Structure 1
């Protein structure tokens, strides 16, 4: 009798995400979402943890980079900044799954200007010195910005060079480097070419030239039928950017609002087939983090119902 009373008390006192809750934190995968580094606050992260948001992806790092590719604060100040963020994360018991490294027309690891490419790499390595203190598991890079016409092959060569250098630094620290697929329904938009890694075939071509340990980050807003890219890369899929769209523009719809065209049952079936072991990382428009948790549960429920049919 005393044991029963003790268990009942625990069910009332332990937060909603514990074993007494009928619904778990999100089913097959832990759930995370992209958060600007300047919005990392203790109370917010504690509230996120309470509803089952275990992970974040740190974004917004470009705000610490000058146009000349130097850091806006000293390296020592940057390290102290990261130490203070690490303390907040520890207190909130929320983990950093991934870090989205900055990108822009100047912050482009495929640039043909070799001196600029070296400066871009140097800047990334300076940021990483602090970011390692946040104990992320995945370091994510864009392959390029938009390209000048008829320079795609040369840009690919520069990307391969940069990925090899970054992979060496990241892997030496025991972390997973990933490169994200980019939007590219057509080769050109206006007078520019689309970024690299715009199709399944181009991803396969370039990943064959990367170190074998480099993984892919599949952005489900950047490509129609993202399940095809997932299937093509299998165990090399190390992280996700979860959002809905139609593969023609940057929509970043919440998957549950019905505005996109992704088939989420096919996506979840493919993630299951390739034995994806990472976080279900939202990178989309939303009103509250609770909405993200509820959306993930709805996607899983829909998928479970389909499997029973």
Structure 2
């Protein structure tokens, strides 16, 4: 990889100083987001050889009309999803999560009730197509960008949509999560940031969600994501792992030192809250091997830091 994190450099230095440090297998199973249209036997065989056994299906928005003139999903997509399920089964790769479609038109917090109901219908139709891959987690964005001074009304619309979608997700034997969104400031370019932009707003909004709806924590969307992890504890059901600083959609590889995440603190918090999910990457990379190598480097650095503290 082109950039190596400070933590990795520190780890190498400590290894030389203290003697050879034996690499330890990371505690959390590894996964990464992949456009479902790129899934082939060859790709799955390759990631299995690297030790990646889980994926998140991305690119699902391709199934729907982007302007939502129609809420239907073409039968060709249903056929493709069955092919994807067969490829995954052959190669023993599991779908941990699915990133559901989102856009200004597919916003589940839409204020116009007729439009919101069309979004519900479209999302339900997509869920039916996704049944063959048997995902553990179905992930939704809480909103797109908002108009000014409509946050309270949007939150109320979101609550209704989450109650409805949670039932539909349960019907296909999966679990629903909602993801925190980027929000270093309330407004940007004359509009408000999406809902769930801070720890406090996430906590407030989740008070109105069904208790079995979980949180997906995106490490790029918020500075010091360990605080959001700690605030939600066992209600954290999945992750979007990347490096960033909470100011933009950087989604750097975790070992890219342009990001500011404190990986030792993040790993410690995940252990403290007893996180039981997949360490799911949603980041930039040139080859999947970079993801695996980076994860191992950061985990080894974390283990070394624990040894030093003792």
TM-score by length of 2: 0.90
Q: Deviations over 1:14-57 (max 9, x none)?
A: xxxxxxxx967x52011000001111111011110111010110
**3-state DSSP of counterpart to 1:256:** coil
For 1:93 and 1:103, how far apart are their aligned partners in 2?
29
Measure how far apart 1:64 and its partner are. 1.5
Unaligned stretches of 5+ in structure 1? 1-21
For 1:257 and 1:235, how far apart are their aligned partners in 2?
29
Q: Deviations over 1:87-117 (max 9, x none)?
A: 0111121110000001011110000011111
For 2:72 and 2:259, how far apart are their aligned partners in 1?
38
Give the match for residue 63 of structure 1.
62
**3-state DSSP of counterpart to 1:257:** coil
1:43-62 to 2 correspondence within 5 Å? Answer: 43-62=42-61
Measure how far apart 1:299 and its partner are. 1.1
For 1:127 and 1:274, how far apart are their aligned partners in 2?
32
Q: Is the 8 A contact 2:183 2:221 kept in 1?
A: yes
For 2:69 and 2:297, how far apart are their aligned partners in 1?
43
- More RCO (CA 8 Å, sep 6+): 2
Give the match for residue 291 of structure 1.
290
Give the match for residue 16 of structure 1.
none
Give the match for residue 14 of structure 1.
none
Give the match for residue 100 of structure 1.
99
Distance 1:80 1:23, change over 3 A: farther
For 2:276 and 2:69, how far apart are their aligned partners in 1?
35
1:85-164 to 2 correspondence within 5 Å? Answer: 85-164=84-163
Alignment size in residue pairs? 286
For 2:170 and 2:23, how far apart are their aligned partners in 1?
37
- Deviating runs (4+, > 2 A) in structure 1? 68-74, 76-79
Q: Is the 8 A contact 2:71 2:119 kept in 1?
A: no
Q: Is the 8 A contact 2:128 2:172 kept in 1?
A: no
Unaligned stretches of 5+ in structure 2? 1-21
**3-state DSSP of counterpart to 2:217:** strand
Measure how far apart 1:73 and its partner are. 4.9
For 1:78 and 1:41, how far apart are their aligned partners in 2?
16
For 1:308 and 1:46, how far apart are their aligned partners in 2?
36
